[in-house]
Amino acid sequence: MTKDLKNPPIDRVDGRMKVTGGAQYFADFELPNMAYCVIVGSEIGRGNIASIDTKKAQGAPGVLGVFTHQNMPPIPGWDAPVGGEADGPAPKPDTIEKYRILSSPKILFDGQPIAMVVANSFERATYAASLVKATYTKQTARTDLEKHLAEGIAPGRPGSSDYLRGKADGYQSAPVTLEANYTIPVEVHNPMELHGILAHWTGTDSLMIYAKTQGVNATQDAMAQAFKIDPKKIHVHTEFMGGGFGMGLRTWPQETAVVAIARKIGRPLKLVMTRDQMFTLVGHRPYTVQTINMGADSNGKLIGIAHAATAETASYEDFTEATVNMTKFMYECPNVSTRYRIVRLDRSVPIWMRGPGEATGAFALESAMDEMAHKLNLDPIEFRLRNYTETDPEHNRPYSSKNLKEAYQRGAEAIGWNKRKNEPASQRDGDWLIGYGMSTGTFNAFRWEASARALLNADGSLTIQSAVTDIGPGTGTALTMIAHNVLGVPLNRIKVAYGDTSLPKAPTQGGSAIVSAVGSAVYDACTKIKKQLVDLAVKDGGQLAGRQADELMMADGMLSIEKEPGKKVALSDLMRTNNLTVIDKSADSKGGPELGKYSMYSFSVHFVQVRVNPLTGVVRVSKAVSVADSGRIISPKTAASQMIGGVAGGIGMALTEEAIIDHRFGRFVNNNLADYHVAVHADVPAIETIMIDKPDPIINPMGAKGMGEIALIGFAGAVANAVFNATGQRVRDLPITPDKLL
């Protein structure tokens, strides 16, 4: 592990289970006497329920109960903050509306649950739900951010305050200036797996939950708070997840409601939401409007940047994200100011989605960088290099590692950047215009606290345990590789158990933080085992007795001395001779105070070639190269898959993804996978991924920084920049649909 080890590209450890149906997702679990819950949503965007008729539904076959604000069982901890309610303290209760599911006739957003119907089959619950009829007193739903931009409020959270370095209007005096507005529409996570929960009260105050959550411990805590019971009595299981992208980063009110109703009816209760409910009840990327002012001198040195963003949130909860943060530290620039505002609308609350606010902010900043490069008649990479910074100008401290220059260079070579012409609309292939674009991405590299346990058995097999959920990036595979690197146990002798609160506590899978956090705990637990084995070996380990601990190496289930082929002892023999059936070590791992001396970020660069048809306005991404500077790559194959997934998401963000609201009703008109178009195979070219693969010396013992978010952050900007290069048309409002180019 101390060596400069390049890991082999191994298959996903859970791959076979996933493709053979062996993997059980939450909705696959069936319990005896289980009942099914279906949600009825509000048909208005704001107002009150005047009447609700549930009689027909109650009389329908198999119905076990219809729950509305008139008969919803109480949830004792409702007024405690719900798990995952954004970062930082929630607003004071008197400054914001309350949304407590099925607790009042008040309607705060279209699709808000007005009834939850329970029956002995899903089909019967669905039918009975169609019989629930409500009348309303309507009010005007304010759902259009563009009309309410002036109502932006400062969120009052530490991470969201205004930032200033130098002068706020420093850009104004620059010889070359730029002002541009960028918008991001509502985007919806749309993982394949539908959201929901299966709740089973196993006693009066004990609970088994199968959930679709990115954090079993977080769900456990949220339910403990809501029902005022000991978290230890709540068992949450989420081993597999069919995509999360952020919507599982918190516990949603309808999940809590299912738990309450399950208790009331005395049966296990399962909720699987419908696809259209996925648009309103589990968050979305918020509609965001941004303005960038930029000034540079004629040599291409930045003089000032001002970046302002205004995003929507709900009337009942302030959601915030790090939209403008990248602008503070990405480039060397003496005058930088950022401003972030939210507008409370009659909409359901947003949540982090795929590279969250940074993806939104990077689209604006990296589009503006491209626009400025064009004004300066500079190559966009050259412009970035002239403003490159080796230290973090926001905090005046070094980066823990940054290999972005190398990333620019390697990506440029791979895409064939030298074929790009700085003059827009100057390359054609038959009917198609050809263009090249690039963009930088960045995201915090975290080191969160996590625990893990490692058990080495006398037969030479190793078990790793952590509560962490694997939402798809290959967490189990990465943890296997980390354990293998420390202990030399063959990969096929390592099992990882995860996704369950009976296992050592782990943070929520998100923020690209899990390999760093849980991986470090696995590393530490395995290192403790290694130390015990080495101590035993040098004490009386036959061939190795009396040797120095640091002479020994571990590989293939053996302790050995590198240059002395005969000198080795099998781990299993060593354990047997010491009467050990298992070596069982746990570790709680977190970074030390030295981490605070560094700014820790992962970086990416995305390069694309596009083809644009000037007659139809169709844009095709014809080539994509994404370069990750995310420290040591632990699991090259799953890392590459993750980058490819991010690019597919980025193509969707750039070209097609947009949840469209009909503001007369405050309702989505394309709340299904046919009309909300995520990138499919036909939209995605072969994608080349490049890993810089240089260990970060600070963040953790593996040298690994996060990768999930940077796979997407910046990609949409690269496409917009390539479209400009192909056509001379600058599209600042995503997605870049054909109509915007005609």
Active site residues: 709
Q: How far is residue 647 CA from its own chain's centroid? A: 14
x-marked contacts with ligand MOS along 323-352 as a string, rule CB under 6 A: -----------------------------x
Q: How far is residue 730 CA from its own chain's centroid? A: 29
Of 352 and 448, the one with the shorter C-beta distance to ligand MOS is: 352
Residues 6+ apart with CB under 8 A from 587: 451, 452, 453, 454, 521, 522, 524, 525, 527, 528
Q: Which of residues 645-674 bind ligand MOS (CB under 6 A)?
A: none
Do residues 286 and 299 make contact, with C-beta atoms less than 8 angstroms apart?
Answer: no
- Residue 122 CB coordination number (10 Å): 16
Amino acid found at 336: V
Q: Which of 353, 378, 415, 736 binds ligand MOS (CB under 6 A)?
A: 353
Q: Which of 10, 141, 226, 249 binds ligand MOS (CB under 6 A)?
A: 249
Residue range at the interface with ligand MOS (CB under 6 A); choices 89-97, 353-361, 597-605, 638-646: 353-361
**Closest to 393 in 3D by CA, of 470, 467, 472, 304:** 304
- Taking the complex as a whole, the smallest distance from the CB of residue 240 to ligand MOS amounts, in Å, to 16
Residue range at the interface with ligand MOS (CB under 6 A); choices 122-130, 242-250, 365-373, 607-615: 242-250
- Taking the complex as a whole, the smallest distance from the CB of residue 329 to ligand MOS amounts, in Å, to 20
Biggest alpha carbon–alpha carbon distance for the chain: 86
SS3 of 65, please?
A: strand
Amino acid found at 227: F
**Closest to 6 in 3D by CA, of 512, 589, 677, 635:** 635
Of 373 and 707, the one with the shorter C-beta distance to ligand MOS is: 707
Residue 430 DSSP code:
T
x-marked contacts with ligand MOS along 500-519 as a string, rule CB under 6 A: ----------xx--------
- Taking the complex as a whole, the smallest distance from the CB of residue 223 to ligand MOS amounts, in Å, to 20
- Taking the complex as a whole, the smallest distance from the CB of residue 509 to ligand MOS amounts, in Å, to 7
Of 352 and 417, the one with the shorter C-beta distance to ligand MOS is: 352
Do residues 508 and 538 make contact, with C-beta atoms less than 8 angstroms apart?
Answer: no
Of 286 and 380, the one with the shorter C-beta distance to ligand MOS is: 286
- Taking the complex as a whole, the smallest distance from the CB of residue 442 to ligand MOS amounts, in Å, to 15
Of 318 and 524, the one with the shorter C-beta distance to ligand MOS is: 318
Of 282 and 621, the one with the shorter C-beta distance to ligand MOS is: 282
**Closest to 380 in 3D by CA, of 414, 408, 358:** 408
Bridge partners of residue 335, in order along the sequence: 304
Q: Is 627 in the site for ligand MOS (CB under 6 A)?
A: no
Q: Is 283 in the site for ligand MOS (CB under 6 A)?
A: no
Q: Determine the Cα–Cα distance for residues 84 and 248; give it in Å rounded to an integer.
A: 10
Residues 6+ apart with CB under 8 A from 15: none
Q: What is the DSSP string of 625-662?
A: EEEEE-BS-S-HHHHHHHHHHHHHHHHHHHHT--BPEE
Of 227 and 446, the one with the shorter C-beta distance to ligand MOS is: 446
| Secondary structure element (H or E) that encloses residue 439, with its range | strand 432-444
Do residues 470 and 499 make contact, with C-beta atoms less than 8 angstroms apart?
Answer: yes
Bridge partners of residue 203, in order along the sequence: 206
Sign of CA pseudo-dihedral 19, 20, 22, 27 = positive
Do residues 305 and 369 make contact, with C-beta atoms less than 8 angstroms apart?
Answer: no
- Taking the complex as a whole, the smallest distance from the CB of residue 232 to ligand MOS amounts, in Å, to 27
- Taking the complex as a whole, the smallest distance from the CB of residue 634 to ligand MOS amounts, in Å, to 18
- Residue 25 CB coordination number (10 Å): 18
Residue range at the interface with ligand MOS (CB under 6 A); choices 180-188, 243-251, 273-281, 614-622: 243-251
Q: What is the DSSP string of 164-180?
A: EES-TTGGGGSSEEEEE
**What are the backbone angles phi and psi of residue 242, rounded to the nearest 5°?**
-90, 55
Q: Which of 84, 191, 244, 357 binds ligand MOS (CB under 6 A)?
A: 244
Residue 336, token pair as written in the block: 């930088």
- Taking the complex as a whole, the smallest distance from the CB of residue 429 to ligand MOS amounts, in Å, to 37
- Taking the complex as a whole, the smallest distance from the CB of residue 394 to ligand MOS amounts, in Å, to 22
- Taking the complex as a whole, the smallest distance from the CB of residue 510 to ligand MOS amounts, in Å, to 3
Radius of gyration of the CA atoms of the chain, in A: 27
Q: Which of 356, 488, 557, 652 binds ligand MOS (CB under 6 A)?
A: 356
Of 569 and 651, the one with the shorter C-beta distance to ligand MOS is: 651
Of 113 and 355, the one with the shorter C-beta distance to ligand MOS is: 355
The total number of residues written for the chain in this structure: 742
Q: Is 246 in the site for ligand MOS (CB under 6 A)?
A: yes
Q: Determine the Cα–Cα distance for residues 642 and 473; give it in Å rounded to an integer.
A: 6
| CA separation, residue 317 to residues 69, 255, 654 (Å) | 20, 17, 28
Task: Encode 551-594 in three state secondary structure.
Answer: HEEEECCEEEECCCCCCEEEHHHHHHHCCCCEEEEEEEECCCHH
- Taking the complex as a whole, the smallest distance from the CB of residue 156 to ligand MOS amounts, in Å, to 23
Of 248 and 380, the one with the shorter C-beta distance to ligand MOS is: 248
Of 244 and 519, the one with the shorter C-beta distance to ligand MOS is: 244
User: Position of tokens 């405690």?
Assistant: 80
Of 108 and 359, the one with the shorter C-beta distance to ligand MOS is: 359
Do residues 609 and 436 make contact, with C-beta atoms less than 8 angstroms apart?
Answer: yes
Q: How many residues bind ligand MOS (CB under 6 A)?
A: 11
- Taking the complex as a whole, the smallest distance from the CB of residue 712 to ligand MOS amounts, in Å, to 9
Do residues 741 and 725 make contact, with C-beta atoms less than 8 angstroms apart?
Answer: no
- Taking the complex as a whole, the smallest distance from the CB of residue 246 to ligand MOS amounts, in Å, to 3
x-marked contacts with ligand MOS along 209-238 as a string, rule CB under 6 A: -----x------------------------
List the beta strands (DSSP E) in 266-381.
Answer: 269-272, 288-296, 302-314, 335-345
x-marked contacts with ligand MOS along 467-506 as a string, rule CB under 6 A: ----------------------------------------
Of 195 and 354, the one with the shorter C-beta distance to ligand MOS is: 354
Binding site for ligand MOS (CB under 6 A): 214, 244-246, 249, 352-354, 356, 510-511
